[in-house]
C-alpha cells in the first residue's frame, strides 16, 4: 500500500494521501505555550483524518495539554531525562514506536531529532518543516521560508498542515476538560475558602523565559486590591516553583490576602482552575495561552516579546502592548530602562479588566 503512497508523493509534491492513513504520530512541542499554539494544527489533522488514531509524542511536562485536546487519542511520553536518555534510551523509544506501526508522522517540533526518531521507527510517511537540516529525512518536507517564521505561531503550524493538503482547522476551544477534573478543583476551592459563586480572577505574574517578560509585581498587587474593591474578586496567583518569589512579592505588597498557588498544583489542575476564572491577567506565558485556548477573558501583557507571533488564542483576549522603540527585543533581561513595561500603567489594566467583566 505505501509503495503506491511514495509514487503519489512524487506526483503531488507535499500533499499527503487521504487513504491508508489509520495511525498517525505527531511529535508535539516542548513548552506549554508552544503546545497550545499547535492545537489548531492538530484540529486540521483530525479533520483530514477523522477515523485515524492520533498519538502525540511529548515530554511529560506538557502531556496534560495534549491529553486535554479533543483531537488527540493517545499521549506517548518522551521521557528524556529519564528512560529515554542517551543512545540506549533513544533506541528504546524507537522500538516502542516501531511496535505501533504508525503510517504517518507529523513533526510539529522543528528539531532534527524528531525526524531521526520517526525515520528510525520505520514510519513510511514523515512530514514537517525542512528546519534544522532535516529535510532529507522527511518524505514530505515543507519549506520554511523567512516569511512564515514571522507569522503567529498557530498560523506557522497551520501553514505546514495546509501545505501537506490538510483541511482547515475547526474553531476552538482547543482544550476540553473532563468530569474527573472537577474533583481536584472543588477540593482546592474548599481548602482555600473560595466561593464558586463569586468572581475568580487568575494572575500569572511569572515568565519562564526571563524577567524581561514580567510586568511589575507591585502593579499586580495594586491591580489585585482594586479588583477586590470593585468586584469583590477572589484573586489566585498561578505559576511554578520558580515563580514563588514573584508571587510572594505580590502577596506582601497587596493590601488584602491573595491565594498563592504557585508550585502547589500540577498543570492539569491549574488548567481546570483557570477554566473557572471569570478573568485572567498574565504576562506572555504558557498559562496565558492556556487561558486563551479555554476562551477565558484574558488580559495579556506584552513587553519584550512580540504579540504578532505569540498572542493568546481565543476571542476574549485583549493585548496590552506599548510597542516601545526597543521592543520586541526578545531578550531575557532588559539591557536598558524597561520602558516597555514601565509604560503599562495599572489604570489601563484595571480599565481593560472592567470592560471585559462588564461584557461577560
Supply the pLDDT for residue 7: 31
Does the pLDDT of residue 3 top 60, yes or no? no
Determine the average pLDDT of the residues in 171-189. 91
Supply the pLDDT for residue 342: 94
Determine the average pLDDT of the residues in 123-144. 96
pTM, two decimal places: 0.92
Supply the pLDDT for residue 131: 94
Supply the pLDDT for residue 9: 36
Lowest-pLDDT range of 110-114, 213-217, 328-332: 328-332
Grid cell of 18 as nine digits: 487521504
Start-to-end CA span in the chain (Å): 53
Same fold for the pair 2-163 and 179-359:
yes
Supply the pLDDT for residue 12: 38
Determine the average pLDDT of the residues in 120-149. 95
Residue position matching grid coordinates 482547515: 168
Supply the pLDDT for residue 78: 98
Supply the pLDDT for residue 238: 98
Whole-number Å distance between alpha carbons of 39 and 45? 10
Supply the pLDDT for residue 102: 98
Segment 221-247, tens digit of pLDDT: 999 999 999 999 999 999 999 999 999
Cis? peptide before 93, omega within 30° of 0: no
DSSP string for 77-120: E--TTTTT-HHHHHHHHHHHHHTTT-SEEEE-S-SHHHHHHHHH
Supply the pLDDT for residue 30: 95
**pLDDT band at residue 314, thresholds of 50, 70 and 90?**
confident
Supply the pLDDT for residue 360: 64
Supply the pLDDT for residue 13: 47
Determine the average pLDDT of the residues in 20-41. 97
Question: What is the strand order of the sheet 53-58 is part of?
Answer: 74-77, 53-58, 23-27, 104-107, 125-129, 140-142
Determine the average pLDDT of the residues in 32-43. 97
Supply the pLDDT for residue 304: 92
For 179-359, give the CATH class: alpha beta
Does the pLDDT of residue 260 top 50, yes or no? yes
Q: Where along the chain do its domains lie?
A: 2-163, 179-359
Q: Which fold has domain 2-163?
A: Rossmann fold (3.40.50)
Supply the pLDDT for residue 112: 96
Amino acid at each position: 500500500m505505501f509503495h503506491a503512497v511514495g509514487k503519489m508523493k512524487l506526483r503531488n509534491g507535499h500533499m499527503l494521501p487521504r487513504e491508508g492513513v489509520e495511525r498517525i504520530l505527531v511529535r508535539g512541542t516542548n513548552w506549554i505555550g508552544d503546545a497550545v499554539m499547535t492545537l489548531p494544527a492538530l484540529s486540521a489533522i483530525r479533520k483530514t483524518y477523522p477515523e485515524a488514531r492520533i498519538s502525540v509524542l511529548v515530554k511529560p511536562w506538557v502531556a496534560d495539554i495534549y491529553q486535554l485536546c479533543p483531537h488527540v487519542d493517545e499521549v506517548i511520553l518522551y521521557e528524556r531525562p529519564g528512560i529515554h536518555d542517551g543512545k540506549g534510551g533513544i533506541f528504546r523509544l524507537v522500538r516502542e514506536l516501531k511496535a505501533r506501526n504508525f503510517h504517518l508522522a507529523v513533526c510539529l517540533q522543528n528539531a532534527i531529532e524528531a525526524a531521526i526518531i520517526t525515520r528510525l521507527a520505520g514510519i513510511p510517511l514523515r512530514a514537517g518543516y525542512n528546519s534544522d537540516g532535516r529535510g532529507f529525512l522527511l518524505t514530505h518536507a515543507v519549506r520554511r521560508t523567512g516569511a512564515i517564521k514571522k507569522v503567529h505561531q498557530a498560523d506557522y503550524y497551520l501553514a505546514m498542515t495546509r501545505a501537506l493538503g490538510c483541511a482547515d482547522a475547526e474553531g476552538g476551544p482547543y482544550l476540553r476538560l473532563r468530569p474527573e477534573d472537577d474533583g481536584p478543583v472543588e477540593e482546592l476551592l474548599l481548602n482555600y475558602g473560595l466561593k464558586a459563586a463569586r468572581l475568580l480572577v487568575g494572575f500569572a505574574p511569572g515568565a519562564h523565559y526571563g524577567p524581561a517578560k514580567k510586568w511589575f509585581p507591585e502593579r499586580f498587587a495594586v491591580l489585585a486590591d482594586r479588583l477586590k474593591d470593585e468586584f469583590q474578586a477572589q484573586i489566585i496567583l498561578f505559576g511554578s516553583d520558580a515563580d514563588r518569589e514573584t508571587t510572594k512579592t505580590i502577596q506582601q505588597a497587596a493590601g488584602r490576602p491573595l491565594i498563592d498557588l504557585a508550585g502547589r498544583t500540577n498543570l492539569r489542575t491549574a488548567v481546570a482552575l483557570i477554566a473557572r476564572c471569570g478573568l485572567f491577567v498574565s504576562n506572555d506565558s504558557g498559562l496565558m495561552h492556556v487561558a486563551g485556548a479555554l476562551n477565558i477573558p484574558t488580559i495579556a501583557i506584552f513587553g519584550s516579546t512580540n504579540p504578532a507571533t505569540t498572542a493568546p488564542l481565543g476571542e476574549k483576549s485583549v493585548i496590552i502592548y506599548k510597542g516601545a522603540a526597543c521592543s520586541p527585543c526578545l531578550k531575557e533581561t532588559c539591557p536598558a530602562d524597561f520602558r516597555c513595561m514601565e509604560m503599562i500603567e495599572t489604570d489601563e489594566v484595571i480599565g481593560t479588566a472592567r470592560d471585559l467583566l462588564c461584557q461577560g
